[in-house]
Chain A
């Protein structure tokens, strides 16, 4: 079984991803800018990434799962903490079970990450899942 790393995913904004999404939600550019997870170096090493190696990962929890590209964080070490851009990909993992304030946990997503062989999840797959 592939090594699994438990993380809390915090979503964030990015100007390049935002611009791509405004032009088209269905473009390869928007997919490439959105379908990413930024992981701590130590966590990436646990998943088997060698220096400079591109890795795709499965990010899953009770709500759903997506395959995205893994990127190395440039920030101070933050094992167990991961970042994703706010997008249809990150929202596949956000629960609609809300707290008293009724705000979904967009910035506190508990998930498990493992190395993946599959292709990055396409927007058409996300649409099909929503349609059910």
Chain B
């Protein structure tokens, strides 16, 4: 069996047949996973310096030179690298006195921080399959973002205590600004919130749980929601970017809601992490520095703060190493523009807007397909994988080790 590193579900049941180093047959992939596997055959990178193809050794030497001569280097990306590569990356940041940040900084970071520090109760997806009778997709749309989430864990499968599953025993609720593909699965339990209205909606739930009249939403429907929550035996909230971006500084309210729900029954939170190993990086950096992201080693000791976030550091760094990420596509225009002004090193298996704009491009093996290692699923379960295709390309870990040796 192969592992799909296309998202943070890290599906472990992928059947892949290989002949002479090429994939001949693949089963069980979702559409997203299919795109991920196909990516092995399109738009692959080659070693480059200033747009000219060079040999790999020269590209690695040049990358080391750039980082060594930089006063404030930024190391960014990490969510599509193995734990093993991330560990070398953190070591490299320490050696360079660099700023290190990952995609969680503009994504699920503020939620992940609360989960890893124990402020929010959490569980594994296997617990969800076995015990959950209420699954709330809040600002998340797994039908689009994690296509096998519903079938493997959160809605359709029969679990230890949920043999009648979605037919009788599981209720699926969607809270969203729009009627998403997931919300369409549960039209009777779709709750539409206004943009940035998630905090208000949480207050409305807290009100109905106290038997008070909610200030927002259809009152009858909200009271109905309160009844479902009270009757729940084992519930889970799948918190997505819709909720995180909407709450931002009001994340304490989510903690308050969970605390209240857990006075009545059992309710857990699972972060709907996108990239396959974002959580791995957050856990690793937390263990090494006490912080999940946005760390600077400039003064030796790890310092943490918004000034070390990629959005801020892009404007103050004088060189950047981007690994397994495409900030030119995924971050605000101003951040991409700021990064484009400094010498960029891009380590990536595939061509992207960022590799096109990089001074040095270093091709790497695709994790899960061409490189083995360990990833951490969205719920914290560690999953090891072996490569399923032959490749002469170095892994992220090998590239980073060589850069570090050359510094």
Contact = CB atoms under 8 A, between A and B. Distances in A.
Given A12-B180, A26-B351, A130 B35 contact: no
B34 interface: yes
B39 interface: yes
Interface residues of B, number: 60
A88 B246 contact: no
B184 to A, nearest CB: 10
Interface string B317-356: 0000000001011111111111011000000000111001
A85 to B, nearest CB: 10
Contacts of B309: 98, 102
A132 to B, nearest CB: 6
Contact of B351 (A12, A13, A25): A25
Interface string A18-59: 111111111000000000000000000000000000000000
B35 A22 contact: yes
Interface in B176-216: 177-181, 192, 195-196
B58 interface: no
A87 interface: yes
Given A13-B145, A127-B357, A130-B337, A99 B248 contact: yes
Interface string B87-107: 000000000000000000110
A96 B353 contact: no
B249 interface: yes
Nearest to A16: B31
B141 interface: yes
Interface in B111-164: 141, 143-145, 147
Given A10-B178, A12-B178, A94 B35 contact: no
A132 B341 contact: yes
B32 interface: yes
A118 to B, nearest CB: 19
A83 B181 CA distance: 14
A16 B31 CA distance: 8
A117 interface: no
Interface of A: 8, 10, 12-16, 18-26, 63-64, 75-76, 78, 81, 83, 86-88, 91-108, 123, 126-127, 129-132
8 contacts: A24-B43, A25-B352, A94-B333, A102-B309, A102-B312, A104-B332, A123-B353, A131-B340
